Structure 1
Amino acid sequence: MKGKVSYMVEPMKLEFREYDIPKPEAGAVILKIVRTNVCGSELHIWRGHHPTKKTGVLGHEMIGVVESLGEGVTTDYAGQPVRVGDRIVTAYFQTCRKCSACVRGDFYLCERGIEFWNKPPEEAPHFHGSFATHYYIHPNQYFYKVPDNVPDVAAASANCALSQVYFGFDKAVLSYAETVVLQGAGGLGLNAAAVAKEKGARVIVIDGIASRLEMAKKFGADHIIDMNEYDTVEKRAEAVRFLTNGQGADVVMELTGVPAAFSEGIHLLRLGGRYVTIGNISPGQLVEFDPGLLTRKSVTIIPVMRYNPWYLHKSLQFLSDNVEKYPFSDMLDAEYAFEHIQEALDKSASREVTRASIILG
């Protein structure tokens, strides 16, 4: 049997390639992709902003069904029995458990985490990204069965957006009745709003796109701040202070990928607040920053890259518990066939589409 991959031969240019579907090694799984999303990190690479990734098979947010199981694979990483045909999602990185980061317990910083990520497709086992008909799950990649009550469209975002923000809030030790400001109401921001709300926080969302702000309300936002109305950092900071009795937010989470949002974040926090930055992942994108204000406010900055892999299981349980409460199925606003994946990337990059999804199943 053969499968196809969409190969980025250079930024903004895709080609389709066909390869034999490999036999999984011991501990590995072959996944048949059902749905895969265009994430913001893909767009950084697609535009040519990543420092090293200029070619490769993109895609990492996905859900699929088990096509074949390698020797010894009888359960997922939560101990649930797994069989051919089961719906599963997988962490998009591996956890080697042997490097210095893993030995410290920082599995999310595994030094070999992205060893197989976005590799050229001619290199076996070929299916290195989810913008393909199949995906190869390596022996050190955590994967989990999807609860029966969670639809594909909701589960497809679990292994990136939802797990990332869930982990970020736990890193910030978000507490009940604290106030959270979310910079950005894309996929990360909407998931973050729901998680923060379920943790008992008061949620303020900042964005400049009306449809996103309206969706943020459905995901638990108590207040929204429209950047078109509050069009300067000073105005947005004053709006946050007004909503927090003059104090500022306990936690601010940056989810935009815009460098200017990072420098703005400390203006939105109270004294001793915590700033979680997730969206800015492209080195070399610089911005002016006020370190003196950071020091005087005693702000703690918490960068979050990836997540401890068991957070994917937590995220699936979160979806199962809240799938009727928040409109997870409405987060994706455009669907494309696999053959039109370049259109999905281009329209996402130009912001004509907020969250695009590629349908294969």
Structure 2
Amino acid sequence: MKAVVYDSAKNFTIKDIPTPEPKSGEVLVKIELAGVCGTDLHIHEGDFLAEFPLIPGHEMVGIVSALGAGVNQFKVGERVTVNPVVSCGDCEFCREGKPILCHNRKGLGTNWPGSFAEYMIATEDLVFKVGNLSPDVAVFAEPAACAMHGAQMLGIKPGSSALIFGAGPTGQLLAQLMATSGAASVTVAGSTQFKLDLAKKLGADKTYLMDRNNVAKTKDDLLKASPSGYDIVVEATGSMQVAEICVPLTRSGGTFMVYGVAEPDETFKINAFDVFHREIRIQGSFAEIDTFPATLAALESGRLKTDGLITHRFSIDEYGKALEALRSDKSAHKIVLKF
């Protein structure tokens, strides 16, 4: 099979390697579409806990091609997606029912072979049927599951006001889930107009075109629009400059969520007294681990929409072009590899 293979950070080749055979309890999936996201750029650089050699890719949809011994939940020919996050089941957090915090957490496409290949292997418990969802929708299962986890962590109260920085695919998905979880008003702030236009089509109540080089003006403008601040403020860009204006924009008693992926050594400043006396809650949200069923239900019902998010399609041989488009093409939104 053809696959993207990294020998080390930044060093990859597209080459033919043996197609894996499913062992007991495993499923072999023939990939149809694989999503390329910002995390893949971090992995390309050797960050985000990447372990090499590696076949990256953690967003996918495909067709069951073969079944290992003992697998009885699936049939050859069914369309499925795969949850790429694996917990150990034995550490203190797994035993407490918090597998997302697993000490030994691994990921397909991060530590183990992922979906940037014609075929991939996953254990039966990580595979999910996608029903009648089209490949263009089902390929969003993993990023949408991350957004679902974020929405669950927020514990949104009906009638809340919400502001999310970042109009990328996961920002768009999270904005929708905040609205369907009870937020009365959702504002999406981003630096690209066509993404904000799409956010409006997908249900955002308000949008704001921001200049990342002038976050002070962004803060002032958004406070003019909502003088008391916002009950929920989500930073989904990974920008530390944007992160620093989030607590001042959070309404007293509200929640500031760190959702965007930053570099391991990046930091931002907050005013400790402001957090203290206004009782601001600071919440992290990392990936997902158990939200695939709820996410697929939301996609199947149409409550969670992906219309218009895919803008660029590349073949596996064009993987380098896909990375470059993700890094620098302002017209790119969601990028997928097609097989």
How many residue pairs get aligned? The number is 337
After TM superposition, the structure 1 = structure 2 runs for residues 238-257 of structure 1, keeping only pairs within 5 Å, are: 238-244=220-226, 246-257=227-238
- Answer with 335-344 or 261-270: which moved more: 261-270
Query: What's the counterpart of residue 186 of structure 1?
Result: 168
Q: Counterpart of 2:32 in structure 1: which amino acid?
A: V
SS of match in other structure, 2:85: coil
- Output the CA distance in 2 between the equivalents of 1:350 and 1:10: 23
- Output the CA distance in 1 between the equivalents of 2:89 and 2:8: 33
Query: What's the counterpart of residue 200 of structure 1?
Result: 182
CA contact (8 A) 2:32 2:61 kept: yes
1:146 aligns with 2:144: no
SS of match in other structure, 1:330: coil
- Output the CA distance in 2 between the equivalents of 1:43 and 1:89: 22
Query: What's the counterpart of residue 332 of structure 1?
Result: 310
- From 271, 291, 294, give the equivalent of 1:290: 271
Q: Which runs of 4+ in 1 moved over 6 A?
A: none
**CA shift at 1:110, angstroms?**
2.5
After TM superposition, the structure 1 = structure 2 runs for residues 78-89 of structure 1, keeping only pairs within 5 Å, are: 82-89=74-81
Q: Counterpart of 2:310 in structure 1: which amino acid?
A: L
1:349 aligns with 2:338: no
SS of match in other structure, 1:105: coil
- Output the CA distance in 2 between the equivalents of 1:182 and 1:65: 35
SS of match in other structure, 1:67: strand
CA contact (8 A) 2:6 2:53 kept: yes
TM-score by length of 1: 0.86
Instruction: Note the aligned Cα RMSD (angstroms).
Output: 2.2
Query: Quick one: percent identity of the two aligned structures?
Result: 23
- From 131, 149, 155, give the equivalent of 2:116: 131
Query: What's the counterpart of residue 69 of structure 2?
Result: 71
**CA shift at 1:105, angstroms?**
0.4
Query: What's the counterpart of residue 272 of structure 1?
Result: 253
Query: What's the counterpart of residue 91 of structure 1?
Result: 83
- Output the CA distance in 2 between the equivalents of 1:32 and 1:51: 26
Structure 1: gaps of 5 or more residues: 76-81, 120-126
1:107 aligns with 2:103: no
SS of match in other structure, 2:318: helix
After TM superposition, the structure 1 = structure 2 runs for residues 15-30 of structure 1, keeping only pairs within 5 Å, are: 15-30=13-28
TM-score by length of 2: 0.92
**CA shift at 1:302, angstroms?**
1.2
CA contact (8 A) 1:45 1:54 kept: no
**CA shift at 1:53, angstroms?**
4.5
- Output the CA distance in 1 between the equivalents of 2:298 and 2:130: 11
CA contact (8 A) 1:94 1:138 kept: no
1:168 aligns with 2:153: no
